[in-house]
Every structure is written in structure tokens, then in C-alpha cells.
């Protein structure tokens, strides 16, 4: 009886062809040395990261051009399962050609998505998503070493679901904004709890500080308190609209999308283009909105002149005069 018959021929169905190819023939496995760095005129960065939940570990090597902070080469060594090898291989490849700051923005979801055979089908079974999380974490470790900062400085929020990189603040806001009542609804909206499931409730493969069941209960109780207070305030004639600058990140994103849908997006679509909002950050007095052009807009000369001016002007008029729109 062959191996495939022993396992019913089904185990590989949960892994994409790309994962299986990278497991067996990784393209970037190896190491870089000080001699390699000297030849390239670059700085060698070596970072190690291990996953306590499974015992896997990965070592990442970068050659970084210190003048531009660009990663000119990357290699890895992985001590663990085949999925960890595949995830680390893609992770190393994704960082090449990027600056260190750009590399830090690569998430485990980017790694997993790059391993998919098609956009709709996950590359690995849910319980193996932690391998791509480890790849994401070692990038932060390498960036922290290069910059001489603490690795935690790249995380400005408490992450509840490591697999999908969903923060505590996002989960709370999504529950409240969409009036969610079940953990299943939280997963549908945010993907939190969709993979290894250890963040749903105590007793999973990895102990967590926050669990979705507790967060849901806490937020629902707070919503009831707010509802009671709002009713009392309404009866007393109290209440005013929150300024854009004072909104939470999720509220800002929702407000920006509303303005774009009402005033900008349809015109872009008519010309074969579109845009997506990537991030919103406060920078001193300014509120920087990072966007990415899609379709015809990505190659249009007007995307950095007239179109950009129109987008920024509308958002300034409708939301806040200190808004700056920055295409990436």
C-alpha cells in the first residue's frame, strides 16, 4: 500500500502547488556572509525568530545598501516543517528590492497570498497559518536590528489574531459599527479566528491574552451602556458630530471611503481606473492618507497632478483641511 493510499490521497489537497514546490525546492534557502556583504558594499543583517507554539524557527539574512536602505539580497534557513520552509522562502523573495521600511509592511497574509495557486483558495490549512506569521515576525526582527530599535516598535496595536493580523482596536470597532452579535460574525468581517482558532476561546493550541468571546461580551455590554446613555442624552437634547481628526482609524477609513464613493470613485471607474485607501496616519498637524491607484489610473500622468489634486481637495473640503493624499 502506497503512502498516498495510507492517507487517503487527501492531505496534499489542503496545500497549494506553490507551497509543495517551495517545500521541495526552495529558491532562497541558504546563507549570506560578511564576505558577501563586503563584495556587495552592503551591511549584513542576520535575524532569528522562533515560534513557541510549534518549535519551528527561521533565520533571515539580508544584504542592505545603507545609502538607500534597500535590501539587495535575502536568504533564509528554516528549522521546522515544510510549510515553514515554503513561507520563509516566499518571505525572503518578497523583501528583495524593497527598502527596510517597505519590507516591514509585508504581512503574513501577503506571504500566504503569494503562495496561493488562485486568489480564492487558501494556500495552507488553517492550522498552518502560524508558519506565515513566523515569516512576518522575522522580518520585523531583521528590521529592528538594522535600525537599532526594539522589535515591538513596529507594532502600535495589540494583536489578538496573529494569523490574520487583526488588532484589538479593530475587532472592538467592527463589533460596534456593524452591531455584531456572534464570534462567527466577527470572523466573517475581520478573518480573526478563521485559521488556527486559538484566539476564539481558551483551550486552543496557544494561550492568548485576549479571546474573541470575551471581547464580544465586553463590547456588547459597553454598547448597551452607550445605548442607554444615548437615549438619555437624546431626551435631554445632547449630542454633536465627532471631528474627523478625533475619529478612530476604522471610523476615518469608513468616512474617507464614503466621500470617495460619493465624489471621486465613479469618475475614475468610468475611465477604467480606481483607487484603494491603504492607510491613514497622523503626521504632526497633517493627516496623511495613503492611496494606491488601480487599473488605468496606475499609469496615468494625471494621477500625480490633476487627479491627485482633485482627490485631496474633496477630502479637505468634506473632512479636514489638514489632509494630505499620498499615492504609493
Mean per-residue pLDDT, 251-255:
91
Most confident of 147-156, 165-174, 242-251: 242-251
Q: What H or E segment, with its residue span, contains residue 154? A: none
Query: Pick the residue with more confidence: 317 or 125?
Result: 317
Q: How far apart are CA 76 and CA 95, in angstroms?
A: 12
Write the pLDDT tens digit of every residue in 266-292.
888 888 889 999 999 998 899 999 999
| pLDDT of the residue at 280 | 93
| pLDDT of the residue at 117 | 92
Query: Cell 529558491 belongs to which residue?
Result: 27
Provide the strand spans (E) within the chain. 43-50, 57-65, 70-79, 159-161, 166-167, 273-283, 286-295, 323-327
- Structure letter (DSSP) for residue 51: -
Mean per-residue pLDDT, 291-306:
86
Q: How far apart are CA 66 and CA 317, in angstroms?
A: 41
Q: How far apart are CA 239 and CA 94, in angstroms?
A: 48
Mean per-residue pLDDT, 46-69:
85
CATH 3.30.300.130, the chain: domain bounds: 244-327
| pLDDT of the residue at 50 | 76
Cα 111–114–116 angle (5° rounding)? 115
Residue 177 pLDDT > 80:
no
Q: How far apart are CA 15 and CA 2, in angstroms?
A: 20
Query: Pick the residue with more confidence: 216 or 136?
Result: 216
State the chain's maximal CA–CA distance in angstroms.
Answer: 78
Domain spanning 244-327 has what CATH number?
Answer: 3.30.300.130
pLDDT mean across residues, the chain: 86
Contact 192, 214 (CB under 8 A): no
| pLDDT of the residue at 55 | 66
Mean per-residue pLDDT, 6-35:
83
Residue 53 pLDDT > 60:
no
Write the pLDDT tens digit of every residue in 179-190.
889 999 898 877
Identify which of 37, 85, 87, 88 has the alpha carbon closest to the alpha carbon of residue 63.
Answer: 37
Cα 67–71–74 angle (5° rounding)? 145
Residue 8 pLDDT > 50:
no
Mean per-residue pLDDT, 8-16:
68
Mean per-residue pLDDT, 144-149:
92
Query: Pick the residue with more confidence: 10 or 214?
Result: 214
Residue 213 pLDDT > 70:
yes
Mean per-residue pLDDT, 67-89:
92
DSSP sequence for 282-320: EETTEEEEEEEEEEGGGG-GGGGTHHHHHHHHHHHHHT-
| Positions marked catalytic | 54, 131
Mean per-residue pLDDT, 202-225:
91
| pLDDT of the residue at 103 | 93
Q: How far apart are CA 28 and CA 239, in angstroms?
A: 58
| pLDDT of the residue at 1 | 33
Counting residues of the chain whose pLDDT is more than 70, the rounded percentage is 90
Which CATH number fits the domain 3-153, given the four candidates 3.10.20.30, 3.90.1010.10, 2.170.120.12, 3.40.1000.10? 3.90.1010.10
| pLDDT of the residue at 3 | 35
The helix/strand/coil state of 280 is: strand
Amino acid at each position: 500500500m502506497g503512502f498516498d493510499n495510507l492517507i487517503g490521497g487527501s492531505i496534499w489537497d489542503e496545500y497549494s502547488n506553490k507551497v509543495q514546490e517551495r517545500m521541495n525546492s526552495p529558491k532562497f534557502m541558504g546563507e549570506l556572509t560578511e564576505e558577501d556583504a563586503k563584495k556587495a558594499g552592503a551591511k549584513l543583517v542576520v535575524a532569528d525568530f522562533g515560534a513557541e507554539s510549534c518549535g519551528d524557527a527561521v533565520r533571515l539574512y539580508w544584504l542592505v545598501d545603507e545609502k538607500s536602505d534597500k535590501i539587495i539580497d535575502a536568504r533564509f534557513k528554516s528549522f521546522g516543517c515544510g510549510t515553514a520552509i515554503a513561507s520563509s522562502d516566499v518571505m525572503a523573495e518578497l523583501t528583495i528590492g524593497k527598502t527596510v521600511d517597505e519590507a516591514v509592511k509585508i504581512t503574513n497574509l501577503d506571504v500566504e497570498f503569494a503562495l496561493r495557486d488562485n486568489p480564492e483558495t487558501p494556500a495552507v490549512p488553517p492550522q498552518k497559518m502560524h508558519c506565515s506569521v513566523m515569516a512576518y515576525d522575522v522580518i520585523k526582527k531583521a528590521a529592528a536590528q538594522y535600525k537599532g530599535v526594539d522589535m515591538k516598535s513596529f507594532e502600535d496595536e495589540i494583536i489578538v489574531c496573529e494569523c490574520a493580523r487583526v488588532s484589538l482596536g479593530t475587532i472592538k470597532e467592527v463589533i460596534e459599527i456593524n452591531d455584531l452579535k456572534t464570534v462567527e460574525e466577527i470572523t466573517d468581517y475581520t478573518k480573526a479566528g478563521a485559521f488556527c482558532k486559538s484566539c476564539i476561546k481558551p483551550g486552543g493550541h496557544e494561550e492568548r491574552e485576549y479571546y474573541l468571546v470575551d471581547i464580544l461580551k465586553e463590547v456588547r455590554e459597553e454598547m448597551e451602556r452607550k445605548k442607554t446613555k444615548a437615549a438619555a442624552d437624546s431626551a435631554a437634547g445632547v449630542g454633536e458630530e465627532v471631528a474627523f481628526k478625533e475619529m478612530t482609524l476604522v471610523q476615518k477609513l469608513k468616512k474617507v471611503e464614503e466621500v470617495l464613493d460619493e465624489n471621486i470613485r465613479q469618475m475614475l471607474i468610468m475611465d477604467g481606473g480606481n483607487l484603494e485607501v491603504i492607510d491613514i496616519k497622523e503626521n504632526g498637524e497633517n493627516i496623511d492618507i495613503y492611496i494606491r491607484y488601480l487599473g488605468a489610473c496606475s499609469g496615468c500622468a494625471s494621477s500625480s497632478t490633476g487627479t491627485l489634486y482633485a482627490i485631496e481637495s474633496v477630502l479637505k473640503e468634506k473632512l479636514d483641511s489638514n489632509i494630505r493624499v499620498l499615492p504609493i
